[in-house]
């Protein structure tokens, strides 16, 4: 069942609450409750791999138990004779696949792609797969596959002596002024190293897919942040036309960056389905989610700040390193916040990547900005104590009035307002400056502040809007809703543009047969899709009004009006003279079954190839510094931490964050997303760490009991305050990014609070008790 | 282990006859054999709470329960929580109103857990709710809204 088949049984719950006063809940900017909510709270929402198909078989992966070396042999005899087994796949019997284009649009080498490895480059790599009639049979048989290896020494992580300094990434270099010389002569100098561990997306819905071939047409039910990008990958792997691959992903149980690409297990399942001639379901197990795709790379940064005696920054020298895999490339841009948060006349940032035996790392909420902010927002806090001024004051003293890197004005930057509003709500003025100066019994209390930012990633979008005979409206897009609220804000956009109640709008997402869409990532989707739906709905409205004015059978025909008003699903003349009819009545009288309009925000001269590139790569995205402005979301977090003086345990007890995401399309849902980012940031600061067994190069805490994410008991009340104003340089309707922003700056705000509480500066995450006692 | 056994399950007030291997979990029986996919598989090893259902009114993890263990007992899943006429349970309505979810994947488990939490008398304060709802992970980070929803529903249930 999909969202358009669900009608809420409680009319008022669909309207949400209109606490914005003037803004109706269902208008853009109103607090409409999630329109996909009723499906999700009743269990009716069917996620991708929950489709019930006839003849479904089940695949289970077999993974390498070494981190480096070669597969010597795979003994499949026992597995093949196990009950119910249909197929055991190894590198010896795979179909030949092509290498696919990457997400940047780089043409692939003319070389085969094999999702099962003979050459092992990390522990947990797929080496074989078993397909059986039932899930239980496949699990049992997979345990019978015997793989022997010739093991070679692995580089287990960044601290491995064999790891070396890595490869310079020249595109990450940012330089202006003479940073080294200015640092050397600065009156106040601090320099420290900041580390973040491997972190994992850990969405509650594990990855997986159902693949079904019908002739040379492939249908893939798979949770996806990017249906069209993944469809392209499947099409290229199997050498079939793009149009032959259909991706279906009606709901996504969380992605956080991890569900944008087709991965090796997808190739395995689709290959098995082709070989067997029947649908195959492959559910990645929770432990496998730690190695079937990459989490956030471990990072190392050094930040050197040179300042005058009043704390005005004269130089920033920044060096960063992130791990990547042996044969893949992932760059976590560590200088992204460093280079824009504060005004500095001299700046230098460089970055290396170091190859280690890991799965290639990937995107996790605010890739780059998140660890970057941990470095600079910790460092400026250290500078504040060094020169003896308030941590909030030093941030204002170094406020960047324009983008220091590209020397362009900000489109909007409500960061000063965020500091002011957040500080007032938090009560920052009552803070005692000295570390260890605030306590409650045996709990040391610390108050910390840090800022965050995320660039406005812009792209082009298209959407289909239909007005149906009964006056209801359909919106179609192959974009997705993984909890950000796409279903809801697109219903609001179409409702407001067309003048119909939001409950009469049905939004259909998550099927690549709908109007194509680019990636959902980097907080770009809301801005892209509200713009596209607004455009399509405007075109549909123009058609509707045109019909009403010009069709001889229209009740408005005799009125000779230039235009008409559509509101609450009814049409009338602007002056109120003449008839008033419902949309359904008008369509009935002119004999039309529907009105249909495609709308897009793409340049008029684009070719079909341009659109294909726009929807299946990120090559057509607009830089955030394109044109006259530099565009970013901004935030300031104020956090209270309590540290048990005897045990060193840290609890976050209070959070106030003020955030500038521009105009909010739906504050109720945006606040939820901000809080979600903050909560993930609390987990990152205090709990999350992928632990590597140094003997075997293996992640040992590859499950949700050992890889700790925040639980309900870890999270206090969180107050979020919007300080944004509409930013029309950033999007058609004035919004900036929401989803990535909230997490950026949370970890340094907590580290700063812990320093204030204890006098101990923890520079490597997570902040666990052994680092404090 | 691999021979199938006929069992009867009582789920949401309905009797279901099915043949499953003894090793089939209640979670897989619900999702794959009966098409009741509202109960979610988040870890399959008892760590996340997404598969929480009620057996004889108690919250249990369906991934750590064999289907045959549920024979002769009353199983309630998320699909059986609303009334037959579609009227939502107070906890469901509160989750919608408080926006106590985003992606929705942990939500059925959260709601089943919340219903039991209130029934157990463990919704007396926000801190108590946090503690007794801590077995249900939510990666979207809806926790403060879940606490608000449980608090609201507990008051409604009490009245």
* Tokens 């689709």 belong to residue: A270
* Token pair belonging to B158: 């009490």
Measured between its terminal Cα atoms, the distance across chain B in Å is: 49
CB A573 within 8 A of CB A564: yes
* pLDDT higher than 50, residue A14: no
- B99 and A711 in contact by Cβ < 8 A? no
Strand order from edge to edge, sheet including A650-660? A439-440, A443-455, A632-644, A650-660, A718-722
The secondary structure of A251-315, three-state, reads CCCCCCCCCCCCCHHHHHHHHHHHHHCCCEEEECCCHHHHCCCCCECCEEEEEEEEECCCCCEEE
Q: Identify the pLDDT of residue A10.
A: 35
How would you label B99-134 residue by residue, b for 16+ Cβ within 10 Å and e otherwise?
A: bbbbbbbbbbbbbbbbbbbbeeebbeeeeebbebbb
From CA A731, how far away is CA A748, in angstroms rounded?
30
Q: What is the pLDDT of residues A217-232, one digit of tens each?
A: 999 999 999 999 999 9
From CA B56, how far away is CA B27, in angstroms rounded?
16
Q: Which of B2, B108, B133 sits opposite A43 (nearest CB)?
A: B108
Q: What is the pLDDT of residues A469-525, one digit of tens each?
A: 999 999 999 999 999 999 999 999 999 999 999 999 999 999 999 999 999 999 999
- The interface predicted TM-score of the complex, written ipTM, equals 0.98
From CA B104, how far away is CA A87, in angstroms rounded?
34
Q: A-chain residues within 8 Å CB-CB of B126?
A: 717
Cα–Cα–Cα angle for A280, A281, A283, rounded to 5 degrees: 150
Nearest-CA distance A478 → chain B (Å):
17
**Run of H or E including A498:** helix A486-498
* pLDDT higher than 70, residue A2: no
Q: Identify the pLDDT of residue A444.
A: 98
From CA B112, how far away is CA B99, in angstroms rounded?
16
From CA A381, how far away is CA A384, in angstroms rounded?
5
CA distances from A107 to A110, A226, A328, B33, B85 (A): 9, 19, 16, 44, 56
Nearest-CA distance B10 → chain A (Å):
18
Nearest-CA distance B97 → chain A (Å):
6
β-pair type (A57-63, A280-283): parallel
Interface of A with B in 281-300 (CB under 8 A): 283, 285-286
CA distances from A264 to A12, A521, B127 (A): 45, 21, 43
From CA A12, how far away is CA A413, in angstroms rounded?
36
Q: Which of B42, B78, B88 sits opposite A206 (nearest CB)?
A: B42
Searching chain B, which residue's CA lies closest to the CA of residue A83? B2
Phi/psi for A600 (5° steps) reads -145, 165
Per DSSP, A55 falls in state: T
From CA A270, how far away is CA A278, in angstroms rounded?
10
Q: Which of B102, B107, B126 sits opposite A676 (nearest CB)?
A: B102
Q: Identify the pLDDT of residue A294.
A: 98
Q: Identify the pLDDT of residue A578.
A: 85
CA torsion sign for A24, A26, A32, A33 is positive
- A52 and B43 in contact by Cβ < 8 A? no
- B23 and A136 in contact by Cβ < 8 A? yes
Q: What is the pTM of this model?
A: 0.97
Selected residue of B136, B140, B153, B156 to mutate for chain A interface (largest A Cβ count, 10 A) = B140
Assign A99 to helix, strand or coil. coil
* Tokens 């202006």 belong to residue: A176
CB A372 within 8 A of CB A196: no
CA torsion sign for B98, B103, B106, B112 is positive
From CA A2, how far away is CA A398, in angstroms rounded?
50
| Range of A15-29, A405-419, B1-15 with top mean pLDDT | A405-419
CB A88 within 8 A of CB A161: no
From CA A85, how far away is CA A83, in angstroms rounded?
6
Tallying the residues shown for chain A, one arrives at: 773
Q: How much is the mean pLDDT over chain A?
A: 95
pLDDT category, B2, cuts 50, 70, 90? low
Average pLDDT of span A608-637:
96
**A9 at interface of B, judged by CB pairs closer than 8 A:** yes
**A472 at interface of B, judged by CB pairs closer than 8 A:** no
Q: What is the pLDDT of residues A16-60, one digit of tens each?
A: 444 444 578 889 999 999 999 999 999 999 999 999 999 999 999
Q: What is the pLDDT of residues A285-298, one digit of tens each?
A: 999 999 999 999 99
- A42 and B78 in contact by Cβ < 8 A? yes
pLDDT category, A562, cuts 50, 70, 90? confident
From CA A647, how far away is CA B143, in angstroms rounded?
26
Q: Identify the pLDDT of residue A265.
A: 98
- A252 and B42 in contact by Cβ < 8 A? no
Q: Which of A140, A256, A712 sits opposite B147 (nearest CB)?
A: A712
Average pLDDT of span A48-75:
97
pLDDT category, A728, cuts 50, 70, 90? very high
The secondary structure of A365-426, three-state, reads CCCCHHHHHHHHHHHHHHHHHHHCCCHHHHHHHCECCCCCCCCCCECCCCHHHHHHHHHHHH
- B2 and A83 in contact by Cβ < 8 A? yes
Nearest-CA distance B63 → chain A (Å):
13
Per DSSP, A1 falls in state: -
Cα–Cα–Cα angle for A711, A715, A718, rounded to 5 degrees: 145
Q: Closest by alpha carbon to A685, among A757, A582, A589, A763?
A: A763
CA distances from B66 to A43, B44, B109, B111 (A): 21, 12, 18, 22
Selected residue of A2, A9, A36, A43 to mutate for chain B interface (largest B Cβ count, 10 A) = A43
- A41 and B92 in contact by Cβ < 8 A? yes
pLDDT category, A166, cuts 50, 70, 90? very high
From CA A414, how far away is CA A416, in angstroms rounded?
6
- B102 and A673 in contact by Cβ < 8 A? yes
CB A520 within 8 A of CB A258: no
- A33 and B96 in contact by Cβ < 8 A? yes
Q: Which of A42, A45, A716 sits opposite B82 (nearest CB)?
A: A42
CB A741 within 8 A of CB A677: yes
**A41 at interface of B, judged by CB pairs closer than 8 A:** yes
- B143 and A710 in contact by Cβ < 8 A? yes
pLDDT category, A9, cuts 50, 70, 90? very low
Per DSSP, B143 falls in state: H
Interface of A with B in 669-728 (CB under 8 A): 669, 671-673, 675-680, 703-705, 709-718
Average pLDDT of span A187-202:
98
Q: Identify the pLDDT of residue A25.
A: 86
Nearest-CA distance A90 → chain B (Å):
25
Residues of A with catalytic function? 740
From CA B147, how far away is CA A694, in angstroms rounded?
40
In chain A, % of residues over pLDDT 90: 95
Q: Identify the pLDDT of residue A22.
A: 56
Beta bridge partners of residue A126, listed in sequence order: A63
- B86 and A9 in contact by Cβ < 8 A? yes
Q: Closest by alpha carbon to A74, among A148, A151, A129?
A: A148
pLDDT category, B1, cuts 50, 70, 90? low
Q: Identify the pLDDT of residue A11.
A: 37
CA distances from A463 to A475, A476, A579, A708 (A): 7, 6, 32, 40
- Residues whose CB falls within 8 Å of the CB of residue A427, separated by 6 or more in sequence, listed in order: none
Q: A-chain residues within 8 Å CB-CB of B153?
A: none
* Tokens 């006259």 belong to residue: A628
How would you label A592-622 residue by residue, b for 16+ Cβ within 10 Å and e otherwise?
A: beebbbebbbbeeeeeeeebbbbbbbbebbe
From CA A396, how far away is CA A415, in angstroms rounded?
9
From CA A228, how far away is CA A221, in angstroms rounded?
13
* pLDDT higher than 90, residue A684: yes
Size of interface A-B (CB pairs under 8 A): 196
From CA A93, how far away is CA A681, in angstroms rounded?
44
- A13 and B97 in contact by Cβ < 8 A? yes
Assign A169 to helix, strand or coil. coil
């Amino acid at each position: 069942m999909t969202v358009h088949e669900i009608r809420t049984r409680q009319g008022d719950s669909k309207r949400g609450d209109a606490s914005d006063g003037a803004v109706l809940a269902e208008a853009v900017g109103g607090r409409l409750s999630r329109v996909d909510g009723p499906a999700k709270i009743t269990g009716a929402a069917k996620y991708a791999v929950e489709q019930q198909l006839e003849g479904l078989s089940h695949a289970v992966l077999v993974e390498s138990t070494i981190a480096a070396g070669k597969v010597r042999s795979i003994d499949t005899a026992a597995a093949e004779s196990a009950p119910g087994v249909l197929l055991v796949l190894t590198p010896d019997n795979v179909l030949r696949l092509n290498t696919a284009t990457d997400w940047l649009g780089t043409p692939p080498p003319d070389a085969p792609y094999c999702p099962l490895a003979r050459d092992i480059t990390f522990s947990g790599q797929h080496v074989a797969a078993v397909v059986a009639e039932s899930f239980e049979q496949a699990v049992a048989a997979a345990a019978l596959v015997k793989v022997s290896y010739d093991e070679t020494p692995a580089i287990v992580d960044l601290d491995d002596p064999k790891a070396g300094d890595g490869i310079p990434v020249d595109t990450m270099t940012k330089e202006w002024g003479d940073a080294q010389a200015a640092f050397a002569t600065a009156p106040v100098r601090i320099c420290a190293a900041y580390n973040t561990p491997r972190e994992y997306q850990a969405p509650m819905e594990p990855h997986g897919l159902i693949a079904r071939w019908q002739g040379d047409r492939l249908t893939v039910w798979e949770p996806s942040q990017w249906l069209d990008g993944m469809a392209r990958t499947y099409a290229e792997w199997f050498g079939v036309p793009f149009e032959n691959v259909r991706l279906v992903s009606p709901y996504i149980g969380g992605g956080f960056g991890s569900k944008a690409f087709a991965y090796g297990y997808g190739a395995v399942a689709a290959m098995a389905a082709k070989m067997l001639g029947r649908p195959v379901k492959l559910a990645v197990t929770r432990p496998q989610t730690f190695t079937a795709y990459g989490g956030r790379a471990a990072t190392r940064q050094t930040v050197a700040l040179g300042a005058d005696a009043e704390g005005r920054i004269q130089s920033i020298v920044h060096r960063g390193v992130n791990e990547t895999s042996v044969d893949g490339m992932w760059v976590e841009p560590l200088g992204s916040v460093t280079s824009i948060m504060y005004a500095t006349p001299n700046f230098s940032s460089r970055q290396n990547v170091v190859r280690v035996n890991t799965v290639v790392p990937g995107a996790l909420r605010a890739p780059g900005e998140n660890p970057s902010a941990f470095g600079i927002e910790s460092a400026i806090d250290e500078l504040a104590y060094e020169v003896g001024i308030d941590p909030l004051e030093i941030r204002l003293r170094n406020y960047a009035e324009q983008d220091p890197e590209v020397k362009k004005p900000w489109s909007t930057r409500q960061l000063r307002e965020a500091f002011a509003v957040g500080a007032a709500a938090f009560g920052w003025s009552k803070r005692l400056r000295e570390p260890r100066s605030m306590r409650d019994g045996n709990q040391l209390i610390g108050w910390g502040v840090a800022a965050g930012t995320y660039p406005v990633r812009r792209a082009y979008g298209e959407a289909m809007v239909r007005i149906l005979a009964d006056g209801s409206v359909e919106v179609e897009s192959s974009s997705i809703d993984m909890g950000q609220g796409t279903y809801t804000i697109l219903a609001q956009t179409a409702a407001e543009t067309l003048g119909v109640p939001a409950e009469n709008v049905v939004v259909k997402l998550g099927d690549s047969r709908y109007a194509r869409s680019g990636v959902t990532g980097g907080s770009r989707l809301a801005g892209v899709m509200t713009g596209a739906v607004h455009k399509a709905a405007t075109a549909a409205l123009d058609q509707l009004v045109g019909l009403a004015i010009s069709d001889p059978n229209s009740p408005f025909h005799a009125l000779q009006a230039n235009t008409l008003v559509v509101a609450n699903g009814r049409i009338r003349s602007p002056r109120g003279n003449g008839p008033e009819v419902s949309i359904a009545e008008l369509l009935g009288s002119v004999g039309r079954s529907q009105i249909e309009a495609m709308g897009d925000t793409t340049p008029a001269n684009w070719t079909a190839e341009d659109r294909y590139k726009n929807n299946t790569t990120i090559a057509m995205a607009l830089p955030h510094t394109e044109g006259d402005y530099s565009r970013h979301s901004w935030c300031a977090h104020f956090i209270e931490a309590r540290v048990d003086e005897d045990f060193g345990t840290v609890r976050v007890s209070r959070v106030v964050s003020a955030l500038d995401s521009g105009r909010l399309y739906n504050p109720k849902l945006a606040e939820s997303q901000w809080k979600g980012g903050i909560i993930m940031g609390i987990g990152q600061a205090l709990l999350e760490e992928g632990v590597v067994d140094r003997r075997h190069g293996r992640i040992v805490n590859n499950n949700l009991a050992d890889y700790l994410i925040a639980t309900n008991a870890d999270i206090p009340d969180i107050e979020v305050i919007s300080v944004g104003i509409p930013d029309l340089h950033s999007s058609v309707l004035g919004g900036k990014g929401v989803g990535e922003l909230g997490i950026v700056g949370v970890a340094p705000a907590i580290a700063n609070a812990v320093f204030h509480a204890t006098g101990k500066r923890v520079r490597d995450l997570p902040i666990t008790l052994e680092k404090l006692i | 282990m691999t021979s199938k056994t006929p069992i009867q399950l009582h789920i949401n007030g309905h009797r279901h006859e099915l043949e499953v291997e003894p090793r089939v979990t209640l979670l897989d029986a619900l999702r794959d054999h009966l098409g009741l996919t509202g109960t979610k598989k988040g870890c399959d090893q008892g760590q996340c709470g997404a598969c929480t259902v009620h057996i004889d009114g108690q919250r249990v993890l369906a991934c750590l329960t064999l289907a045959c263990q549920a024979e002769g007992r009353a199983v309630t899943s998320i699909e059986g929580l609303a009334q037959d006429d579609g009227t939502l349970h107070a906890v469901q309505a509160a989750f919608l109103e408080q926006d106590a979810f985003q992606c929705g994947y942990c939500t059925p488990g959260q709601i089943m857990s919340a219903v039991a939490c209130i029934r157990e008398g463990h919704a007396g304060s926000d801190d108590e709710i946090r503690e007794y709802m801590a077995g249900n992970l939510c990666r979207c980070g809806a926790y403060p809204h879940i606490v608000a929803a449980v608090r609201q529903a507990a008051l409604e249930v009490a009245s």
